[in-house]
Amino acid sequence: MQDLVVGGTGIVGGYIVAHLLKAGRRPIVLSRSQHSGPDIDWIQGDLVRPDQLTVPPFETLFCTAEIGLLADALPHLCPPSLKRVVAFTSTSIVTKLESGTASERELLRRLADGERRLAAVCEQRGIGWTILRPTIIYAEGRDGNISRLARLIQKLGFLPLMGRGAGLRQPVHAEDLAIGAIAAAQSVEATNKTYALPGGEVVSYREMVGRIFDGLHRPRRVISVPPIFWRVAFTLAKPLFPQANVAMGSRMSKDMVFDAAPAMEDFGWKPRKFHPQFGPPG
């Protein structure tokens, strides 16, 4: 029986597809644009219009698209053969739900509601579910978090931080998330549970930025900016961070740390430590 990957052209989804292929499986990949590839059954479609989808039978569903869309689509999409759903959201549901930015609050409330609705739909149909909440996702040169900071460093030659940047972080590589998702789908212990998926070590925001400099083979040039001057620094960085907001600065001093033990115990979660590499020395 095949696996269906929704969001298989994204960063995490792409790694899920690659590891399924490596394991000798032939995944079905649902994407909004037309694709083709060996040993993959590509289906063009959109969760927004699930009644227009025709998908072969599958047993496991991996979803990196917005979880609320999956919750709405699943009654139309799921075949009798479906046994397990593994979906991604974010630890931001915990750390940013009371954000001062209205758009962030709305997105995270939508995600939290989507989690509840997906669990309810699965349980109504006797389908096992697992929800995975990653921390800061990165994949060198491809993500909108660590790689965006790397591009800013390359442009400016330095990086301003508000205050000392002492808040703790756990960046997690997209490939580790794919490996974890496949392991969770195969774990009985992970059925009908939600897990935080942090990276392999805890580092301060300042050290996280320092390691991005290291990965770029550049000397660490991190400038501490007093809060009163942060808005000026933020204005300079805004062109490279079009979706950023001033609250990013205050979060640099806030700890965002999660317990990996449940995921380690239930499906062997073992992510790498944070040492990004952005190519050979220039």
Return the CATH number at 39. 3.40.50.720
Query: Does residue 211 belong to any structural domain of this protein?
Result: no
Query: Does residue 89 belong to any structural domain of this protein?
Result: yes
Q: Quote the domain boundaries for residue 15.
A: 1-134
Query: Does residue 147 belong to any structural domain of this protein?
Result: no
> pTM of the prediction?
0.91
Query: Does residue 9 belong to any structural domain of this protein?
Result: yes
Strands 58-63, 84-88: pairing is parallel
Q: How many domains does the chain have?
A: 1
User: Would you give per-residue pLDDT tens digits along the chain (282 residues)?
Assistant: 799 999 999 999 999 999 999 999 999 999 888 788 789 999 998 899 988 888 889 999 999 999 999 999 999 888 899 999 999 999 988 887 666 677 778 888 999 999 999 999 999 999 999 999 999 999 999 999 999 999 999 999 999 888 889 999 999 999 999 999 999 999 999 999 999 999 999 999 999 999 999 999 999 999 988 877 766 666 666 665 666 666 676 788 899 999 999 999 999 999 999 999 997 765
Question: Residue 196 belongs to what H/E stretch?
Answer: strand 193-197
Query: Does residue 139 belong to any structural domain of this protein?
Result: no
C-alpha–C-alpha distance, residues 148 and 165, integer Å: 17
Query: Does residue 155 belong to any structural domain of this protein?
Result: no
